[in-house]
Structure 1
Amino acid sequence: MEEKREDYMSNEVRFYRCQNCGNLVYMIHQGSGKLVCCGSQMVELEPRESGMAAEMHLPTIRHDKGRLYVSVNENGHPFTQEHYIEWIALVSPARITIRHLKPEDQGSTLFTDVEHGTIYVYCTLHKLWKKTF
């Protein structure tokens, strides 16, 4: 999924999760209302940038000739059906791109045509992480 907006001025996005069914959404424009799913208010996921398990979840980011290589598998993160990197999102001033992964993808993906932004990583067990580059 990719959304391009030239007027998008922030590398920050808010992610929300339903505590009942597990639905996960991101907010591209914050209004005054509350997000509700399954009859309950959705909970905002606070992305972590440090702390316990950070070395396994913060991505390694490498630029090479217009390509951005993102990997979470260099520091021993597991890749089982129960515990893996479900998706990696790139948020830059001009776009949001989300790469959905499977355990066999080993927590790696590639983005193109980006110089700076924020990478969000979602682990099925340890939830949301982010790294700005």
Structure 2
Amino acid sequence: MGKKIEIYKCDKCGNTTLLLDSGKGQMVCCDEPMKLLSEQSADFKNEKHVPIVEKTDDGIKVTVGSTLHPMLPEHHIVMIGVIDGDDLMVHWLSPGDEPVAHFPCQNEDVKAIEYCNIHNLWTNKQ
């Protein structure tokens, strides 16, 4: 992929943004610089955050955690994404949804990412 995915979060209000194209400015919210989130891949809490990619008949399935992640209003997965070369596919989730997404991607060797509203950004690859 030509560009790195960058996600920023405001420590004051919790606003989170995906940067599509970087310039010379700084990401700012609530009059303070936003924090660039780093991708985490080692989960010490029962594997509830690392995305798991499985091949299916019509593409791939991404499940968040070998133990399914909670999907409560106060703690849930906001999105699951797949980066396949220069393509980014995103599936948005809401509390109460199952933390699973299906993508019409034939390549199962993709980088999967997910964003938890409490524990931030996770990936299956660095």
Q: Distance in 1 between matches of 2:20 and 2:117?
A: 22
Structure 1 unaligned spans of 5+: 1-7
Structure 2 SS opposite 1:119: strand
Q: 2:117 aligns with which of 124, 128, 133?
A: 124
Q: For residues 75 and 36 of structure 2, what CA distance do their matches in structure 1 show?
A: 21
Give 1:79 shift: 2.0
Give how far 1:114 is off.
Answer: 4.4
Q: What is the one-letter code of the residue matched to 2:118?
A: L
How far did 1:24 drift? 1.2
Q: Describe the superposition over 1:52-77 as per-residue Cα deviations: whole angstroms up to 9, x where unpaired.
A: 22611112211123411011254142
Does 1:58 find its partner at 2:50?
yes
SS of the aligned residue for 1:103 comes to coil
Instruction: Tell me the residue number matched to 1:90.
Output: 82
Higher helix share: 1
Q: Is the 8 A contact 1:58 1:72 kept in 2?
A: yes
Separation (CA, whole Å) in 2 of partners of 1:108 and 1:88: 8
Structure 2 equivalent of residue 47 of structure 1: 39
Letter paired with 1:99: H
Query: % of aligned pairs identical?
Result: 26
Give the total of aligned pairs.
125
Q: 1:69 to 1:56 in 2, by over 3 A?
A: same
Higher RCO (CA 8 Å, separation ≥ 6 residues): 1
Return the TM-score normalized by structure 1.
0.80
Deviates more, 1:38-47 or 1:95-104: 95-104
Distance of 1:54 and 1:129 partners within structure 2:
14
Inter-CA distance 123–62: structure 2 relative to 1 (3 Å threshold): same
